[in-house]
A and B are shown apart, each in its own frame.
Chain A
Amino acid sequence: MSDNHGHHESHHGHDSHDEHHHEQSFVAKYIFSQDHKTISRQFLITAVIMAFLAMLMSFIFRLQLAWPGEKFAIINFLLGDKWGKGGTIDPSVYMALVTIHGTVMVFMVLTGGLSGTFSNLLIPYQIGARDMASGFLNMLSYWFFFLSSVIMMWGFFVETGPASGGWTVYPPLSALPQAMDGSKLGMTLWLVSMSLFIVSALLGGLNYIVTVIQLRTKGMSMTRLPLTIWAFFVTAILGVLSFPVLFSAALLLIFDRSFGTSFYLSDIYIGGQALEQTGGSPILYEHLFWFLGHPEVYIIILPALGLTSEIISVNSRKPIFGYRAMIGSIIAIGFLSFIVWGHHMFMTGMNPFLGSVFVFTTLLIAIPSAVKAFNYITTLWRGNIRYTPAMLFAIGLVSTFISGGLTGIILADSALDINIHDTQFVTAHFHIVMGVSAILGMCAGVYHWFPKLFLRHMNKNLGYIHFWGTFIAAYGVFFPMHFLGLAGVPRRYYSNSAFPMFDNLIDINIFITSFAALAAAVQVIFLFNFFYSMFRGPKSEQNPWNSNTLEWTTPMANTHGNWPGALPVVHRWPYDYSKPGKEHDYVPQTVPLAEGEIDGGGH
């Protein structure tokens, strides 16, 4: 299949997109662009840069954990004489790095970067739309995101350093400048950055929802949508419902910090003074924060699962197993994610009965998650698997989603949470299930849709090295970390050697840091491959993976309005791979049903 649409640049035909033929200025085309493809690339490149900065931060604090107090020239090189004096890291700066690493990864990379890149790229492409419902709001969404990323990093350039109360920034620690340096100007910057980020997420999310509901092309019913779109759609709804709650949490925190209110503060004596604030409760903040915070982890993982569904099906040359069950699980996970936030708070002293309710709802999520995992595995069964780098990453995601999800069963069990709450066991659990899984999903997406993003292919051998390095390093880093937690090591400790109890664990920390170094090294390979292939990679054919979805019916050019002629018309679901009685092992969605042919997987 290579019906070349290369000579299509002349006319759009009868639709209303003629104005796009005007030669656009550089600024309109690449900077303040309203085209979903350009915005998607902007999100991706920003996220890749932010991910590298966050990884660098993690590497610095991993060095400190493995060799506490040792001197490293690289720490002095990166942090300077004030924070990395003589090559050892300052304890407050350690906290700052942990905090900003978490914030950047969770929000900038895996929310903004993942949804921003792939919802923007794929929603119009896969539903057969010319662009997002509002290109202007979409552009604003990116620039708010950009601004928020810059302000978040700005914290490293102020005297007292960035926010350092952990990515959850619980008050009163984050509310009281007296409590730590990081709660001074750095915390203000964090709140400003986060508020801008929420604006960005809402503009993006509303746009995604409206676009999916309104702009589907003819024949593209909800039950013919690729699972990617279902995942982005539900993700956007989660974001729109939960981010405003984080905004109110942040707003009240701003009031407490700057205007003397006591929403979160009560009966505090600090820095030799009794504060007059009384009657507030820090637990209120925790409720508001986790009302976003828990849906947030699904905002991160659902798009990754959506991308994986598509990639596994295409590369197994088989329909995704249980399409409707997959949609059902996405919706079930989305719904349940709103009623489980209390499992982050079992140890806050909340009523044990309320705790029991959250145990129940949380463990329910395991059912739709299990369905998804089993369906992925069954999709591989009796397939004809083509190992693109994207496919490897997708299989890797299934593995980490299972292995990380299973330890969630332990943490959701309030009785067990007593002993492992806030220990390294938690760090290990959430890094595998949402950190590593989402990163693997994002990488899968980048390799798979690179031809649509930059019209070229990434180097596959570097991709293979990238996958195996990342996958092995991920288990190398996070598997032993569970054991640290079971030995009683808390999270966010600057050093495990301040007292002797954990001294026999030091080689586990060295083991972990060595694999972190491997992970960092292979990400450099990715970084190189990414930018190199953008300009020098081999040019892609129109439909390099022999996919059914609509994005591959657009020409290999940055056509404004996506389809040069009329919009495609959809006749079938997107997963007709290796359908019996067909000439090829794929049947694009635009191919009409044959007489007597059943749509949606029957045959």
Chain B
Amino acid sequence: MIKVLVYVAIILGVLAIGYLVRVFELASSLKGAKPEVITEKDNRLQARLMLLFLFAFFAYTIWNLVEFAPRMLPVSASEHGVEIDWLFNFNMIIIFIVLAITHVALFWFAYKYYGRKGIKVTYLAHDNKLEMIWTIIPAIVLAVIIIFGLRSWNKITEDANPNSMVVELYAKQYDWTARYSGTDNKLGNANYRLITPTNDLGMDSTSAEGVDDIVVKNEMHIPVGKEVEFKFRSRDVIHSAYFPHFRAQMNCVPGMTTYFHFTPTITTEQMRKDPYVIQQVKDINEIRSAKAKKEGRTEKPYEFNYILLCNKICGKSHYNMQMTVIVDSEADYKKWLATKPAFFAKPVDAPKEVAIIK
């Protein structure tokens, strides 16, 4: 019944607008004006709106920056991330300059040269000199951008330091598992055909390098100041391991291993004391407790943590596929690791027979 009423209301609404427009058109044609002809008055009004838009656009840009920038990610917690942030700001400055120049020109001309009697049009079809200028200047600016960009890219993607600590991140719908390579710093073999309910990663118990491997879920720890080489695998679909606070990301692709390495520089404890982070956490907690109060429940206060997110659409619960990352001091990290037994310390189910579907 309600559906019918809604449809009826929509139809009546459309009819009403129709008649309204008709009335306006008839009224204007009574005055002898053709409603479709663009008058000088129209031009003037639209030109003024263009000028108004120019100011509004810049005011809005500045408002966005002032209002939203304090909610961006805090200072990068990795070595290469600082360079990425610098590069980002550098490019952003160029972008804002170009945005400002082009938009001032665009909307100022749109205002200044609105159509009216007596305006003199300059018949100008091309100007080789001007065109050369605005081909060459962008080319030079882009060359600078490319050179800076590739310099950073090459540095970030060069091979990991042989002494770096090897950690595997294993993705599946919808959680992350981290596997530490243990004292030998080498990961044991794994095969998807060995997966059983107790052996989520399909680790091979006969692989000597895997004997000391440690598997953790929900929360992973890494030591500060030490390069970590992540090896990524996926069990089912493509996922993407995204560490926003470390400016790091790599896809996890079934059937292959991908790599990314970075050096964390700020421990979780230190980051929690950063004034910028303190402010963000305070804001988040205010919003959360207000909401909880409205709903009549109490909320545990949020504490800042580094996070690992899934950043490639992977199914229904994609939005909640995450893991907490904790950067410890070297000593704390060792203490934490010591509490974690090797995976094969407990017996695991042997794979039954390999399930094959046709």
Q: Which residues of A contact B (CB under 8 A)?
A: 77, 91-92, 95, 165-166, 170-173, 176, 179-181, 260, 265-270, 272-276, 278-283, 316-325, 347-349, 352, 355-356, 359-360, 363-364, 366-367, 370-371, 373-378, 380-388, 392, 395, 398-399, 402-403, 406-407, 409-410, 413-416, 418-419, 421-423, 457, 459-462, 464, 468, 471, 475, 479-480, 483, 486-488, 490-496, 498-501, 503-506, 508, 528, 532, 536-538, 540, 544, 575, 577-580, 585, 600-603
Contact = CB atoms under 8 A, between A and B. Distances in A.
Contacts of B255: 265-268, 278-282
A16 to B, nearest CB: 36
Contacts of B195: 269, 274
B124 A418 contact: no
Given A356-B154, A402-B99, A382 B124 contact: yes
Contacts of A600: 125
Contacts of B270: none
A490 B249 CA distance: 12
Interface in B44-60: 46-47, 49-50, 53, 57, 60
B193 to A, nearest CB: 5
A266 B254 CA distance: 6
A352 B258 CA distance: 12
B188 interface: no
Nearest to A422: B311
16 contacts: A91-B317, A95-B318, A269-B202, A273-B357, A283-B256, A323-B126, A359-B149, A364-B142, A384-B116, A385-B115, A388-B38, A403-B103, A416-B149, A488-B245, A490-B310, A504-B287
B22 A536 contact: yes
Contact of A387 (B36, B43, B317): B43
B341 interface: no
Interface string B110-148: 100111100111111111001100110011001001100
A382 B247 CA distance: 47
Contact of A378 (B115, B130, B173): B130
A359 to B, nearest CB: 6
Contacts of A273: 355-357
A495 B322 CA distance: 13
Q: Which of A180, A373, A387, A492 is the most central at the interface, judged by chain B CB atoms within 10 Å of its CB?
A: A387
Interface string B59-73: 011001000110111
Contacts of B253: 281-283, 348-349
A384 B119 contact: yes
Contacts of A355: 153, 157
B25 interface: yes
Interface stretch (B80-88, B176-184, B210-218): B80-88
A324 B126 CA distance: 9
B95 interface: yes
Contacts of A479: 60-61, 64
A386 B91 contact: no
Contacts of A504: 71, 280, 283-284, 287
